[in-house]
Structure 1
């Protein structure tokens, strides 16, 4: 939580010093509109994650079963862990820096920089530095997803939908289907059949591509004014 407060404070300083804006420039208002955008994003990635997990269970000829030992408190704790991590990353990659870059160098370059940075960041968070092939795949997959989320920020003039898109996937993946670093969540999969390596490409590449297409063709264009520096 302290890390989030620090990032918010630094974002506020950057926005004021460089753009004479406050933290509301990240599209917090109007609240009702932002809630709708958040929920729309959350629903998109939640449904996509469910589809991937159902496909996995079919390929493994197995079924998901409810974790009867999990409590409501544990679910809430897992949800808030996901939420904190998502907000922290979004403030860094789809926050003040992206807003400033869009204003200064235009959306195309700014979104690309945000996407590549997000992909490189996952080299470190996944601990794959030095493994060339995984680095390429992760850069492509997380970079493509980061591009979709940055485009959503630009098109909506708000961080709300990127947070929803990010949280929808992370919460469903980590907490609902017990796939993340948090341990057993709501559902567990019992199977001894291993999936082929290509299956991981569905979550890494195909899902981000679908999200990008949805964002690109369902959201109206942004009206943020670009002030290029000569």
Structure 2
């Protein structure tokens, strides 16, 4: 929590003393509109993540059981971890950094460069440095997702869509399907003779397709249904006037 507070303070300082913009440029106003965008994006993240995990279970013949020892305390701890990790990443990569890059480099290069940094960051957070094939795959998927989340800010003038869909996707993965650093959560995968994991090219194809689902859905929703409705600013005007 302290890290997020420090990050917010640094963001305020950078925005205020470099491009003379308030923290509100990150897009939390008008509150009603941002809550609506956040809720829709959260629902999309939950639905797509659930569909991807369910499809993977069918393809790999996996079965699941409810964790008998799961408690509300476990749910609360995992939810809090998910909340902190998502907000940290969003503030870091779709917050002041993205705003400054757009201001200095323009929308296209700002969006691309912030997504490159987001992809490289996952090499370290995922602990895959040195494993070249995994580095390429992980960078590709996180770069594409980062592109769409940065595009969401450039198009809407707010972090709401990126935060909502990020929370929904990660929440289902880590809390419902125990796919994260929090250990066994609500559902636990049952392994045995019926468990047949994908391997080789089919695994790669499924991995790419599953990780492209949310970016594609968000992209078309944002492109055709989201318009800039935030307070005027130099960065926001540039976002509106540039079709990316």
TM-score (norm 2): 0.86
Does residue 93 (structure 1) correspond to residue 93 (structure 2)? The answer is yes
After superposition, give the CA deviation of every residue in 1:100-127 in whole Å (9 maximum; x if it has no partner). Answer: 2223322111100111110011111111
Q: Secondary structure at the match of 1:226?
A: helix
Q: Confirm or deny: 8 A CA contact 1:140 1:205 kept in the other structure.
A: no
5+ long unaligned stretches in structure 2:
240-244
Q: Confirm or deny: 8 A CA contact 1:41 1:165 kept in the other structure.
A: yes
Task: Report what 1:63 is aligned to.
Answer: 63
5+ long unaligned stretches in structure 1:
none
128-137 or 198-207, which deviates more: 198-207
Q: Confirm or deny: 8 A CA contact 1:144 1:209 kept in the other structure.
A: no
Task: Report what 1:202 is aligned to.
Answer: 209
After superposition, give the CA deviation of every residue in 1:139-197 in whole Å (9 maximum; x if it has no partner). Answer: 11100000010011111111111111111111110111111111111122213322233
Q: How many residues align?
A: 227
After the TM superposition, which segments of 4 or more aligned residues of structure 1 sit over 4 Å from their partners? none
Q: Secondary structure at the match of 1:188?
A: strand
- Structure 2: how far apart are the matches of 1:145 and 1:171? 16
- Structure 2: how far apart are the matches of 1:226 and 1:60? 46
TM-score (norm 1): 0.91
After superposition, give the CA deviation of every residue in 1:16-55 in whole Å (9 maximum; x if it has no partner). Answer: 0112222111111222211111111111121111111111
Q: Confirm or deny: 8 A CA contact 2:82 2:170 kept in the other structure.
A: yes
187-196 or 174-183, which deviates more: 187-196
Task: Report what 1:105 is aligned to.
Answer: 105
Task: Report what 1:188 is aligned to.
Answer: 188
122-131 or 90-99, which deviates more: 122-131
Does residue 26 (structure 1) correspond to residue 26 (structure 2)? The answer is yes
Task: Report what 1:117 is aligned to.
Answer: 117
Does residue 152 (structure 1) correspond to residue 155 (structure 2)? The answer is no
Task: Report what 2:218 is aligned to.
Answer: 211
Does residue 136 (structure 1) correspond to residue 136 (structure 2)? The answer is yes
Does residue 226 (structure 1) correspond to residue 238 (structure 2)? The answer is yes
- Structure 1: how far apart are the matches of 2:28 and 2:226? 18
- Structure 1: how far apart are the matches of 2:105 and 2:207? 35
